Structure 1
Amino acid sequence: MSLALDQAAVFRRLRARLFRNGLSVLMETGRVKLYSMAATSVIVALLVFGLSAFGFLELSKNNLPMKGFIVGGLFDLLFFTLGVMLLMSTGIILYASLFASPESRFLLTTPARADRIFATKFIDAVSFSSWGFVVMGLPILVAYGVTAGVPLAFYPLLPLFLLGYVLLPGAASALACLLFMRYMPRNRRQVLTVAGTVAVVALGVWLYRVSAASKAAVTTNNRDALEGFIGQFSLARNPITPSHWMTNGLLAAARGDSAREILIPLALIWSNGLFAFLLAAFAARRLYRTAFDRTTGSGGRKKVYRGNVLDRVMEWLVFYLDKPTRILVVKDFRTFRRDPSQWAILLLFAGLMLLGVRNFRQFSQAELDGIDKYIVSLVNLAGVSVLLCAGLSRFIFPLISLEGRKFWILGLMPISRRQILVGKFAFAATGSVAIGLTLVVGSELLLGLSPVGVLVHALTILTIAVGLSGLNVGLGAYMPNFRETDPSKIVVGFSGTVNMITGLLFVVVVVALMAVPMHAAAVLRHFNKLQSRDFPWWVYAGLPIGLTLGVVATVLPLRAGTASIQRVEF
């Protein structure tokens, strides 16, 4: 048997062993995490299904053909957007697993081939990044099938199209990651600055054109304007793009066309995806070890770390702290901004939310009814709150655990452990409050919500941001894991699962107490056709309760975490 076959068999056995061990450990000690993940996925899928079915029914009520140009354009845009998200997320995960993982460093010291290591990490990255794609994409397509009355053969074809589609953007991002790490000049800042400037200018021009077309589509409310808006996304409708292959194949299956019309797009998706993977594996065989050596050896020259503008801004934002604590806050911020695997994911989240805010502007230009504005604003508030919960759980909760065995170094500083936790809380609260208030208040102003509604939502997101910061820092110190160096494993562990569930419950309760009563009053006022714009007293009754809950969620975990970390010996 050849060496290649031996290595393939070894890696297959390793993957099977890791899967069995992980499943057994999960069933023995992590059933709560398993059930919570499954329940969350089901809830998200049902919500996406309901919203998608409502949208397709609205298209049907307006006598738009469910298997024609407009739906095809929407599918092109959907798959193109999901493909770009897969491209970015897979590239970020691959960078972290190929060039910043201790496991990859160990595997490169073994006789394992570089392309075999790459294939193993590629499968993990694609599986992880495509989970959200399946949870989001499958309910949309099922809702389309239910509302459009497609043949039964449409449904078994959905997994084949979706699984084939994730290969191409994943392989493309892997190839780009390898080429970038191998051939990018060592002084990457200038190159990235120029590339980023060009990308921002091009994006601005495109957004201006899309804004003009979307304004016409929303305000005129006719078919030609809507087709003109969809035409702005001509790249997604190009016959050579995989998103268009997906649309052609699925619409052919929905219409009940011949097998040839269905299988040719499916074959294009799978064949090009597999070819792109082989091309990336070939590049990994030639470039991976060299790129890894180049990355790890780039610190040969002495680096002089000077002050950064962003660091000074962060220090100014926490001016109310003493000097040693401000230094620790800047240290955490500097560690965060130097790790692309962290800030790139946050940048992706921020981009998605900014895209949503841009869409809200089009709603406001369409002069929505008051009830519609309140519904859209509540969805926006809930979305930002959940994103804050996920982001803080991913980035803030592992901070104490990641100090690990190096925690004793902090003990040499003229600062107490309590001040360390206060600094991490200030770092988390400052960032989350800035992001949350900007997204929520900005979108409410674009919607034209009443001043009372803007104030209530601002208080709600402020309470959620500060409370989640206290929960993540406090529980991270109360239940640390100093044996683990991978933040993703800390997050998905038992303590991370408890923190995530607690944070979600906190978000649900605070939104229900502080924001939902106002929206319920708006709905009642709309259906009862009341002219008064004043809200009843019970709308404001939950505000002090929610604020009190936010204080409790901040103070109690921080006190428990401080007491716990004081007892730890390093």
Structure 2
Amino acid sequence: MNSLLLVSPALKKFRRVFSHRNRVVLALLSGGSALIAILIYYGLYRFLEYVGRAPMLGDTFGPILGGLLVSKLLEMLFMTLFFMVLFSSVIAALSSFFLNEELPTLMSSPLPIGMIFRSRMLLMTIESSWMVVVFFMPALYSFATALNANWPAYLLFPFFMLLSVLLPNLVGGFTALALAAFFPIRQMKKVFQFLSIIVLTALIFFLRSLEAEKLLNPSYFKDISQYILSLEVPLINYSPSSWLHQASMALFRNNTSEALIKIAPLVGITIVGLLLLNLFARRYYRQSWQMSMEAVDNQVLGLEWLRRVLVWPFRWTDPVFRVIANKEITTFVRDPAIFSQIFMMTAIVFVYGYNLSILPLKDIPSLYSGELNDTLVFLNGPFIGFILASIGMRFVFPSISMEGRAFWAVKSSPVSPRKILITKLILYLLPMTFLGIILCMVTNSVFKVSHPVLMYMSYINVLIITVVITSLAIGVGAVYADFSADSPLKIAGSYGGFIYMLLSGF
């Protein structure tokens, strides 16, 4: 018996999800997924091609400096990928290694502890990395096309992607095992969820603070010329992102042997990391798991006053609506991750407003006009919809599944399922509408809409988008409910979550 046999139940469950679906539905989903991948690839390719030519810098310096900028963007992409997978892997490792419901059965079996750990490590790597791989592969292939790479680059890039996600997962697994020996697992999982949101938000603000859009304006050339000339300096020397970047650029220059030499240190570190992690797990995994079983998970926070304030407006509503609203608000307020959720929503609004405020429209007099601003207000509706869809994925979509195994009480109640779904829809529609209106107000304020009719139309457009997205989240969440899931993040990353985001994109 090997570790793959312990992974087979999860693989069978995955196959069973697709085998019970209509072939037409699967064909539509496959076609939609392929279309989104093509759009990501082509859109980023056109952008990189334009940046690589840099026509605003002239025919002589444009291609040279543009090529350096594309190279730096690739390095930043690898660095972002590494940190995203790293924080995701720590959270996934804490759940997979210590909180999974299958672990008591596995730990009580005569199986070697190393075999159990390797199976959990494989599942953790897939869980934390599959979505990143799906969305980043078209982006990396667009870099290869924009830099005129030959066919070996397209064959070796999946290997580079595997290395870019495997090493941070090893670091995440080692971190989870080390933390389990000193801290309660459930509390550390919540801390890392909060820290991951803070770090990713800070990374977004850092990238936006570079204000790369100034490259489109020749009037800024004197201020940024020194910055462009320093683009050949790596962001972090002797780092995985630097090795991947150097190997990729050598591959794009059709120098396969140099690319393999550049990637060799990363391959060696990954192999050594696998061996060390396996030895460390054999020694400490069972002990860490036993300590995690002794910790008590306190789900109640001292926010009873906030719960009372939020529940108070529903005192005069229908009894069924009042009971469901009371239950949803109580569950939300008593969730220990509430602060990270509120912080995430606030960060999204601030990043959105900041992106709009630094658009260099006034620096391009030939383009700046009231008509352009009005057009941008109308075209900004889909971006607001994307933000609302991402928030709906985290908060609205898991609402049915989070009923858990106690859903039998809801099913046996005298309230019809239709009534329950409509009540949840109205309840979640209120904060989603409030957030959409705020985003629309920010847009209208930044672009200074000149026509009142267009301003009212923008609000109506956002209201329609909000209703559609919230309805999709409730409906798809009910059809693809997973009452065995222990985390909203796991529900959002499921097959149903993929369908919801796919439908929201259209």
Q: 1:436 to 1:317 in 2, by over 3 A?
A: farther
Q: Distance in 2 between matches of 1:333 and 1:470?
A: 20
Quote the residue 1:97 is aligned against.
96
Q: Answer yes or no: is the 8 Å Cα contact 1:385–1:461 preserved in 2.
A: no
Q: CA deviation at 1:67?
A: 8.2
For 2:157, the equivalent position in structure 1 comes to 158
Query: What TM-score, normalized by structure 1, do the two folds share?
Result: 0.68
Q: Could you tell me which residue of structure 1 aligns to residue 428 of structure 2?
A: 428
Q: Does 1:35 align with 2:27?
A: yes
Instruction: Give, in angstroms, the shift of residue 242 of structure 1.
Output: 1.1
Report the CA distance shift for 1:346/1:262 in structure 2 as closer, same or farther (over 3 A).
farther
Matches of 1:27 and 1:426 in 2, distance apart?
Answer: 34
Which structure 2 residue ranges, 5 or more long, are not aligned? 56-61
Q: Does residue 381 of structure 1 match 2:384?
A: yes
Match of 1:464 in 2: 465
Counterpart residue identity of residue 376, structure 2: K
Contact 1:393 1:491 in 2 (8 A): no
Could you tell me which residue of structure 2 aligns to residue 511 of structure 1?
none
Question: Quick one: which of 258, 264, 269 aligns to 1:267?
Answer: 264
Correspondence 1:146-545 to 2 at 5 A:
146-184=145-183, 203=202, 207=205, 211=209, 220-222=219-221, 225=224, 228=227, 237-257=235-255, 259=257, 261-299=258-296, 306-308=302-304, 311-312=307-308, 314-315=310-311, 321=317, 324-334=323-333, 337-338=335-336, 355=351, 357-364=353-360, 367=363, 369=367, 370=372, 373=376, 377-388=380-391, 390-391=393-394, 394-400=397-403, 402-407=405-410, 421=421, 424-439=424-439, 441-443=441-443, 445-446=445-446, 453=454, 455-473=456-474, 484=484, 496=496, 500=499, 508=506
**Count of residues paired in the alignment:** 483
Question: Aligned in 2, Cα 1:28/1:426: closer, same or farther, shift over 3 Å?
Answer: closer
**1:437-477, Cα deviation, whole Å (9 max, x unpaired):** 44454355445555655543433333333344345446666
Pick from 38, 46, 60: which aligns with 1:54?
46
> SS of 1:102's equivalent?
coil
Cα distance in 2 between the residues matched to 1:232 and 1:348: 32
What whole-Å deviation, never above 9, does each CA across 1:230-258 have from its counterpart, x for those lacking one? 97998x72122211111111111111236
Q: What is the alpha-carbon distance in structure 1 between the residues aligned to residue 413 and residue 13 of structure 2?
A: 38
The aligned amino acid for 2:267 is W
Give the CA deviation at 1:90: 2.6
Structure 1 Cα separation of the partners of residues 441 and 276 of structure 2 = 46
CA distance in 2, matches of 1:345, 1:35: 35
Query: How far apart, CA to CA, are the structure 2 residues paired with 1:346 and 1:308?
Result: 17
Give distance in 1, aligned partners of 2:23 and 2:486: 22
Give 3-state SS (helix, strand or coil) of 2:291's partner: helix
Please show how residues 20-31 of structure 1 align to structure 2 within 5 Å. 22-23=14-15, 26-29=18-21, 31=23
Q: Distance in 1 between matches of 2:100 and 2:251?
A: 43
What displacement does 1:102 show? 1.0
Separation in 1 of the partners of 2:159 and 2:207?
A: 35
- Using a 3 Å threshold, how does the CA distance of structure 1 residues 49 and 374 change in structure 2: closer, same or farther? farther
Deviations along 1:362-418, one digit per CA (max 9) or x if unpaired, are 32566574278358624513422542554456422424565333548x959xx9988
Report the equivalent of 2:59. Answer: none
Q: Taking every aligned residue pair, what percent have the same amino acid on both sides?
A: 19
Report the alpha carbon displacement of residue 196 of structure 1 after superposing the two structures with TM: 6.1
Q: 1:117 and 2:113 equivalent?
A: no
User: What's the CA shift for 1:154?
Assistant: 2.0
* Alignment match, 1:75: 74
Cα distance per residue 1:512-541 (max 9 Å; x no partner): xxxxxxxxxxxxxxxxxxxxxxxxxxxxxx
Task: Give, as a single letter, the amino acid of the residue that structure 1 aligns with 2:119.
Answer: T
Q: CA RMSD in A?
A: 4.7
